[in-house]
Chain A
């Protein structure tokens, strides 16, 4: 999984609306499903490595906020907002 993130070919990422239909079908097949089934520690490390790798490629105005904000809180917050607020 980490290798896949490190090798992320962002420069070649296509616009989905410009892909031919057959390519679109391929494009939505999950390749790294294990990302959500790994331990949370693994997910954190993967996200941290991703941030370090992508940071130099970000627009300067967005770089600091994106990198500092990513994972800045270390607690779980279950997504049950609808249960409380509708």
Chain B
């Protein structure tokens, strides 16, 4: 059996082996009604919750989720397009932006962590996670993508759910992992 199996997911067709690691494309897709993955991400999460499957999010995934929420909130407040927002620059110019939107962020992350298990490589040393992260940099093109895979490996995840196509070139991992493409 190959260490990585790629599957395209459709609601009602199959359930991913659990625990299922979710990257930010899934969490953001669930939270944002305007996201192109909204219906798909929502049904993916709902199907697996209804079936009692464990869904995992990492602090890295939470960080990316907050980043995109915050960028969208700032864009909405300023009337700009989200893509036009340089969030780091905006936060430096107006340090109160973060605290202004913090209640929204807290609420969203509270909802998320009410049904998802928060993981961060428990059982592994930071050096083990770092080694895995750097090893994965040879498999996928994105620095964050590689970190997600390193965390999933040590979180005991059986599946990795994502809306990003960046993982399609991934051929092998030290542990069996199914890449579920939403």
Residues of A within 8 A of B (CB): 4-5, 8-10, 13-17, 19, 27-28, 30-32, 35-36, 40, 43-44, 46-47, 50-51, 54, 57-59, 61-62, 64-66, 68-82, 84-86
- Contacts A35-B40, A76-B82; A10 near B12 (Cβ below 8 A): yes
Extra A-B contacts (16), CB below 8 Å, given A8-B43, A81-B144 = A17-B17, A27-B13, A30-B8, A31-B10, A59-B52, A65-B113, A66-B45, A66-B115, A72-B111, A73-B33, A73-B69, A75-B32, A75-B75, A77-B32, A81-B24, A85-B64
* A13 B31 Cβ-Cβ under 8 A: no
Give the CA-CA distance A86 to B75 in the complex, in Å.
21
| Contacts known (A77-B68, A82-B142); A19 close to B14, Cβ less than 8 A | yes
Residues of B near A51 (CB, < 8 A) are 42, 46
- Cβ contacts A to B, 18 pairs, < 8 Å: A10-B12, A15-B14, A32-B10, A36-B36, A36-B40, A46-B39, A54-B49, A59-B52, A65-B113, A69-B30, A71-B31, A71-B42, A75-B76, A76-B72, A77-B32, A77-B34, A86-B143, A86-B144
Residues 12-48 of B contacting A (Cβ, < 8 Å): 12-17, 24-25, 28, 30-36, 38-40, 42-43, 45-47
Interface size class of B (residues with CB under 8 A): 35 or more
Q: Distance (Å) between the CB of B38 and the closest chain A CB?
A: 5
> Looking across the interface, which residue of chain A has its beta carbon closest to that of B88?
A84
Distance to closest chain A CB from B89 (angstroms): 11
Which residues from chain B sit less than 8 Å from chain A, CB to CB? 7-8, 10-17, 24-25, 28, 30-36, 38-40, 42-43, 45-47, 49-52, 64, 67-69, 71-73, 75-76, 82-83, 86-87, 104, 107-108, 110-115, 142-145, 163-164, 166
